[in-house]
Structure 1
Amino acid sequence: MPDISIAVTDLRIGHFVKLPGSWKDHPFLFSSFRIKDEEQLQIIRNLGLAQVTIDPYRSTGNIPEPVTGEVVSATPSEDVAPAPAAPADPIRQQQQDLRRSMRFADRQFSNALSPLRESLGQLNLKPDEGLATVAQLIRTAAAHLTQTEEPIGLQLVRSVQQGDVLLLHSLNTAYIAMLMAREAGWSPLEIENAGLAALVHDIGELKIPTQISRKRVELTKSEINFMRMHVQYGFDQLSQLKAFSPEIRQAVLQHQERLDGSGYPNGLKGEQIGALARLISVADYYEEQLHPRSATRPGQPNQVVASLFKKADIWFDGGYIKLLIKVLGIYPPGSLVRLSDDTLALVMASDPQTPLKPIVLPYERGRVSEGVDLIPLQQDERQISGLCKLEELSQAQHDFFNLGKHFCYYYTS
C-alpha cells in the first residue's frame, strides 16, 4: 500500500509517520517512526505542518482519508511533468532557514526541560526511572553531535519560560560540556559521559534547604559551608544508587576543585583532579557566572570569558578554557555588540567557521524582535566594532532583546 498524505489534525497514536526534512527540522532522532504516545503526537502537531505523510501498511489503528484523495507515490510518475516551481527569494529563504534553526533549538531545549524536572523529582521515589530519563536525554543529544560531521556552534534560546535555576543551569552546562568534549576529539562514549556528568554535577543541591540554595543575596559563612556540601551529597547519592560510571561520580565530587588546591571538598591539585571534572568545572563556572544567584543583573559573556582567562592554569585548565572559547566564538551568544554602522545587536548564534562574524539580531525601534530579520555577518559588509554594556541600554532596548530571561543554549550547525 503506497504512502498517503493526511491532515496533521487526523494524525493518531499508532500511525507510522514520515516527517519532511531531517532531524535538524524536528526534535526526533529519526524522521520516520510509529507514534507511540500523546507527547510525540503533540510535538508533531506543533511543528507547523498542515499535512503529513504516513505509511498505512506500517501504521496501526484507523487510517483516515488522504488529503484531496491523493496518494503519495514512492516514485514520481514519468508520464506527468511536475509543475515548475516558483523562483525562491534567496534572502527570504535564508531568513526562514535561520528562524527555523532558532525554533528547532527552542523546541529541543524546552522538550528536554520538562522530563528533566520530572526525573529529578522522582529520584527519591523512583530513582531507576528518573536516572533512566536523564540518561536518555543525554544520549539523544550526544547522538546528534556525533552523527554530525560539520562544525557546530551554540544557538541562543530565548523562548524558555523562567524556571528552576538549577534545572536551567544543569541543562546549559551539559550542552556546553558535550560540545567542548566533541571539540576535544573525545569518543562518542566520552561525549555522553561529559553530558551526564554535567547534567547531574549539582544534583546534591537538592538536599540543600531552598532558603539557602535559592537565596538571592550574599550567603553567610555558615551558609556557604552548607552549600559546599552539595558535591559530597551528590557523590554519595549517586554512589548509593550505583548510578553511572565511577568517572562520572568522581566528576560530580571534584567539579569544584581548583588546580592550585584552593577548591573543595578535598583541596586537590593539578592532575589529582580528573580530566572530566576539569572540563565540567570550566563549563560550570561560565554558566554560573552568567547567572550569579546573588546578583541583581546577569553577567555578560565577554566579562565571564575574561575572568576565566585570568584564572587559566591557576584555577582552571587552560586547554579547556580554549576549547570553551572555540565553542562560544569570539562573541559568545548573548553578547551585546555594536556594528560598524552603529547598530545595536544581540549575538544569537556562534559560527565556528567564522568566529568574528556570528549571527546577530539587530535592534529596530518600535518593532518586536520576532519580526526583525537576523543578520548573518559572514554575508554582510558590516562588522562588529565593539561590545556594549547592559547599563548603556534603554528600557525599550532591554525589552526588545528580552534580557530578563535566562540565557539558554542548544546546538546549531
Structure 2
Amino acid sequence: MSDISVPIADLRVGHYVKLPLSWKQHPFLFSSFRIKDESQLQIIQNIGLREIIVDPDKSTVEVIITPVVAEVAPAAPDLEQKPDPQKIEQQQLRRSIRSSEKAFTNSVSPLRESLSQLNLKPDEGLGTVAELVRNAGLHLSQQEGPVGFHLVRIVNQADSLLLHSLNVAFIAMLIAKEAGWSPLEIEDAGLAGLVHDIGEIKIPSQITRKRTELSKAEVNYLRMHVQYGYEQLTSLNAFSLKVRQAAYQHHERLDGSGYPQGLKGDQLDPLSRLIAVVDSFDEQLHPRNATRPGIPNQIIAGLFKRANKQLDSGFMQLLIKVMGVYPPGSLVLLSDGTLALVMSSEPSSPLKPCVLPFTKGRVQEGVDLINLKDDDRTITKVVDFEELTPPQREFFSLGKHYCYYFSTFTPPEAEAVAPE
C-alpha cells in the first residue's frame, strides 16, 4: 500500500511517520520512524504541521482518516510562518545533546581496543588514541561560541577506567583551550588525559575494582600505576615527554604531599598540574567504593579549598568556568520549587545552566529543557539523590557514572536563518 497523507489530528501511536523536515527542524533522531508512545505523538502534533505522511505497511495500527464535514470553511492561504525562537532553541539543545552522546559513546570502543593492543600492536593502539584526540581537537577548534559540557548518560557497560580516561581527556582539552594553549598543546592535554592511568592495566582487578576499603599494602600497589604507566609509554616512545610526565606526576601535589616523588610547586610541569586537577575532580566524583556518583558542585567546592595548597588555582578556576558552579549531573531545586537535573554547563553564565525539570507523568523526551540564562528562575539549592521519590528517580534515570562531552550554545535567531 502506498503512503498516505494523514491529518495531524488522526495520528496514533503505532503509525510509521515520515516527517517532511530536515533533522535540524525536529528533536527526533530520524525523520522516519514508528510513533512509540504518547509523548512522541504530542511532540509531533506540536511541531506545527497540518498533515504528515504515514506508511501503512510499516504501521502497527490501522490508518483511519476522519471525514471532513461540508461545513468546514476553506483553509486559509498557506502563509510562510515565522520560526518560533523557543521551539528552535529546544531543537538545537536536544540535537546538541544527542551529538555529544554519540561522540562520547563512539569513543569508548576504540579506546578499549587501543589500550588492549598496546603490547601486541603498539603502533595501531597509539594511532587510535591519537585519532580520538585529533577528532575532539578538531571539534573544539571549529566552535566559535561558548563551549561547555553536556551530561552523557547512555554509557552503561563500559569499564570505569575507560570512562574516567575519556572524562579527564575532554575536560582537560577544554581547560587548555580556555587557558589559551596552542592546538598542539591542547592535543597533548587530551593525550595525557587518555593515558594518565594506563598503568592501572597492570594492577590486579581485585584491587582496582574492590568496593571495600583498601589495605595499606593494596594502596601502595595501586600507587605503582604511575610508575607502570610511565615505563610503558617510555618503552613505546609514545607521545611527548610532557605527556609521559603527566602520567607519572598526576598524583603529585604543589605542597609536596603527593606521590611518587613528593615534588613541589615549579618542579611540576603545567600539563601535569592540569591533569592533577581534572583527575582529582573525576576521581572524587566516582569513588572506587561507591555505587553512585558524588555531588558535583560539592566536589568542586572541596577542590577549590585545596587550590594554591595542593592543586593549581588557575586550572581550578578554569575547571569551574567550563563545568559551571552546578556541573552537569547536579540535581537542583529552582526558585519556584521545581526539581531539575543540570544537563549542560553554560560557560558565560556559570550560575545559569541548562536543566531538565521533573514533570510528573511524563518522560524526558516530552519535557522542554530550561535554559536558565533566559529564565527568571534561579537555583536555590542542590538536592541529594537519596532525597528523590521513586517516580523522580525513574524520570531522571541517573546511572552510576557521569560522562561529559563538549556542548555548544547557538542563539535561536542564528539557528533560524542558518542555511541547510
Q: Report the TM range for the smaller structure's normalisation.
A: 0.7 to 0.9
SS of match in other structure, 2:343: strand
Which range moved further: 88-97 or 363-372? 88-97
2:318 corresponds to which residue? 323
2:161 and 2:213 map into 1 onto residues whose CA distance is 17
Highest CA radius of gyration, 1 or 2?
Answer: 2
Distance 1:21 1:142, change over 3 A: farther
The residue correspondences of 1:7-406 to structure 2 (distance < 5 A) are: 48=30, 85-406=80-401
1:399 and 1:261 map into 2 onto residues whose CA distance is 45
1:147 and 1:242 map into 2 onto residues whose CA distance is 31
Distance 1:84 1:108, change over 3 A: farther
SS of match in other structure, 2:258: coil
1:324 and 1:87 map into 2 onto residues whose CA distance is 39
Please report how far the alpha carbon of residue 21 of structure 1 lies from its aligned counterpart in structure 2 after TM superposition. 8.8
Which range moved further: 221-230 or 295-304? 295-304
| TM-score calculated relative to the size of structure 1 | 0.79
| TM-score calculated relative to the size of structure 2 | 0.78
2:394 and 2:23 map into 1 onto residues whose CA distance is 34
Which range moved further: 387-396 or 165-174? 387-396
Q: Cα deviation per residue 1:47-81 (whole Å; 9 max; x = unaligned)?
A: 6256xxxxxxxxxxxxxxxxxxxxxxxxxxxxxxx
Indicate conservation of the 8 Å contact 1:250/1:277, yes or no.
yes
Indicate conservation of the 8 Å contact 2:250/2:273, yes or no.
yes
Letter in 2 for 1:383: T
Q: What's the % identity of the aligned pairs?
A: 62
2:392 and 2:361 map into 1 onto residues whose CA distance is 10
Relative contact order: is structure 1 or structure 2 higher (C-alpha 8 Å, sep ≥ 6)? 2
1:190 and 1:169 map into 2 onto residues whose CA distance is 21
Indicate conservation of the 8 Å contact 1:344/1:363, yes or no.
yes
1:288 and 1:403 map into 2 onto residues whose CA distance is 18
Indicate conservation of the 8 Å contact 2:23/2:29, yes or no.
no
Indicate conservation of the 8 Å contact 1:162/1:405, yes or no.
no
Distance 1:133 1:49, change over 3 A: farther
Which range moved further: 388-397 or 340-349? 388-397
Please report how far the alpha carbon of residue 313 of structure 1 lies from its aligned counterpart in structure 2 after TM superposition. 1.3
Q: Cα deviation per residue 1:310-367 (whole Å; 9 max; x = unaligned)?
A: 2111110111100100111121111111111100001100111122211000011222
RMSD after superposition = 2.0
Letter in 1 for 2:388: L
Please report how far the alpha carbon of residue 282 of structure 1 lies from its aligned counterpart in structure 2 after TM superposition. 0.4
Please report how far the alpha carbon of residue 264 of structure 1 lies from its aligned counterpart in structure 2 after TM superposition. 0.7
Count of matched residue positions in the alignment of Structure 1 and Structure 2: 341
Q: Cα deviation per residue 1:100-158 (whole Å; 9 max; x = unaligned)?
A: 11100110001111111111111121111011000000011011112323221111111
SS of match in other structure, 1:120: helix
Indicate conservation of the 8 Å contact 2:292/2:400, yes or no.
no
Gaps of 5+ in 2: 1-21, 33-77, 409-420
Please report how far the alpha carbon of residue 86 of structure 1 lies from its aligned counterpart in structure 2 after TM superposition. 4.4
Indicate conservation of the 8 Å contact 2:23/2:31, yes or no.
no
Letter in 2 for 1:205: E
Gaps of 5+ in 1: 1-19, 26-45, 51-82
2:286 and 2:393 map into 1 onto residues whose CA distance is 17
1:281 and 1:268 map into 2 onto residues whose CA distance is 13
Runs of 4+ residues over 6 Å off in structure 1 = none
